[in-house]
Amino acid sequence: EPPDTPEDFSCHTQDLKRVTCTWREGETYLYGRNSPQYTLSKTSSPKMALCKASCSEQCSCSWDVGQQRIWNVTVTVENPLGKKTATDVFDVNHRMYPTAPFQVWEDCTDTEITLHWNYENNEIELFCQTEVVHPDGKVELHNSSVAHSRRLTVRGLQPHAEYTARVRCGAAAHFWRWSEWSQALTTRTKEGIPSGKLDIWREITPVLGGRNVTLFWKQTPSFQANGKIISYEVTWEKIEDGSKPESISFSAVYNSTRIFIDNHSYRISIMAKNSVHFSLPSVLIISRATDNSRKILFCSFLGTEELKEGQINGTDDGIFISWESRSIYDSYIIDWCNFPRLQPCDLQWKRFGPNISSAVISSAAFVPGVRYKFCIYGSVANRASLLEKKIGYLRELPPHRDPIVRKVDLTYNSVTLSWDSYLTNESETGFVRGYHVYVSPIQGNCNLKGSKKHILSDESELCKYTIENPEEKRYTVKHLMPNTQYKIAVKAFTGGGETPIGYFRYIGTPYKSNILYFVFLVVILPTLVAAMCHWKMKWVKESCCPVIPSPNKSKALSFKEFKVRSLKI
């Protein structure tokens, strides 16, 4: 193909003494002696070449300009199939393209970096620009305000943070193009005083003569260490009598400690320390121990009669908790254990603002089938009071125990089942919502009035009754057939369902009572009477058919005479 017009043809200088022109060559598919030939010349003298072009990634050609400042140059590309040209007219003073700055170094404080650099052409007036990359990846550009300056200060930086900077320059008089960037310099600001406060919390355990207070602390997003934390300082003092404070220091690897205090009110503060100074103190007030203080301080030692535990539910994101907002508090705290079945239980806490009354608590430690207890506190002036307790599951699982049926009362057409109270404790895998009673005759399928059909895995049918009151411990199944064998089972269910039926209890209903009465009257009673009569035949005969006496045989007539009023009878 014939050659294309050279693309991106442009000329520049880096020292006002020598000019370099560059362009991109096109593809002609001709090689060897037929490959394109480039000639750079003054437009007015096309046959007089200014320099010899060389091409690799791009083509370039350089020559000394001497005292001439205005140039009109043409590049010509030619092969056996054609010829094309490109022209550039320029003032050398307006085509300054400086070399990149070198020897970049810095001075640092905790919030400032001052960059220094050098460049080759000291007689050319340049102004420079600095690029600063922050720890979070944010990029900022800063321009030097003074031409020919070889330093620039960047302010408002984070203490003890790593920054990357580089510099480039351009002509101050007739800016045309920035130079290439200098080599990047990575530096770290010096440490500063920690800013913000630690987030602190406590767990109080009453003991003989006082209380054990376990203190916890952690860094929050609002807290800036501004260096490497080397220790934590814990201080506590009585509020009433103004006694001398006690304090203890811990290595940075610790995030909790336990102290003993008596029954007075105490002020506890915790500070973080780096190589420069301490942070501001975080303060907790522990109220005086009274009979009533258990109700407002000790979540773990409250009975259900003092503060009822509310039930809460898990969601896809965690466990949802809501509470009654009260205007007197400036913040709320929720604490819980990540591993409630272990000791220590890994106590966690989270703070909320005064206008918040619900939250979703999430943790990678939460697993289905484990009951978690959440204590909600209101805080005012660093003094916390227990408000509510909640218990719930990330996801409920079926109960792992069945109710124990203690009593079975049978009639010819019903059975009454009584079972023990279902013990619910922290080891349960869900909240018991009620019970299911399953009934089926041993022979055939069940079709009892008031029941629902339930199909087992082996496709056999059961009658199912649902009891939605978990406090119920008695149920009567009606409409049974007399003199029939049945199998029964009682299952507890939670929000996670119930386990498969493992075994049945077998019962048999008696005959219907009126049939037995009829049999007794018609058969049994006459038979008993006949047997009795046969056994007492003589007595019956004498009682029912006595011998009639004969007057001729009466002894009354054996008297020789018997007179009544002188009459002989």
Contact between 132 and 165 (Cβ < 8 Å): yes
180-217, pLDDT tens digit by residue? 999 999 999 999 999 999 999 999 999 998 999 999 99
Whether residue 340 sits in one domain with residue 303: yes
Give one DSSP letter per residue of 128-183, joined into a string: EEEEEE-TTS-EEEEE-SSTT--EEEE-SPPTT-EEEEEEEEEESSS-----PPPP
In the structure, what pLDDT confidence band is assigned to residue 422 with cuts at 50, 70 and 90? confident
Whether residue 310 sits in one domain with residue 384: yes
Give the bridge partners for 488, in sequence order.
439, 505
Where among 294, 327, 356 does a domain terminate? Answer: 294
Whether residue 109 sits in one domain with residue 74: no
Q: Give the C-alpha separation, 299 to 337, whole Å.
A: 12
Whether residue 221 sits in one domain with residue 151: no
Contact between 61 and 51 (Cβ < 8 Å): yes
Where among 477, 509, 541 does a domain terminate? Answer: 509
Residue 549 domain flag: no
Residue 147 domain flag: yes
Give the bridge partners for 503, in sequence order.
none
361-407, pLDDT tens digit by residue? 999 999 999 999 999 999 999 999 999 999 999 999 999 888 889 99
The total domain count for the chain is 5
Residue 564 domain flag: no
pTM of the model: 0.71
Helix H or strand E segment including 318: none
Residue 556 domain flag: no
Residue 516 domain flag: no
531-569, pLDDT tens digit by residue? 777 776 766 666 677 766 666 655 555 555 556 666 666
Whether residue 448 sits in one domain with residue 413: yes
Residue 561 domain flag: no
In the structure, what pLDDT confidence band is assigned to residue 130 with cuts at 50, 70 and 90? very high
Whether residue 183 sits in one domain with residue 167: yes
Contact between 375 and 392 (Cβ < 8 Å): no
Residue 538 domain flag: no
Would the pLDDT of 359 be above 90? yes
Whether residue 88 sits in one domain with residue 114: no
Whether residue 206 sits in one domain with residue 168: no
Whether residue 305 sits in one domain with residue 289: no
Query: Which range of residues forms the domain containing residue 342?
Result: 299-393
Whether residue 266 sits in one domain with residue 240: yes
CB atoms within 10 A of CB 146: 11
Whether residue 268 sits in one domain with residue 172: no
Q: What is the CATH number of the domain that holds 385?
A: 2.60.40.10
Whether residue 288 sits in one domain with residue 204: yes
Residue 568 domain flag: no
Where among 166, 189, 212 does a domain terminate? Answer: 189
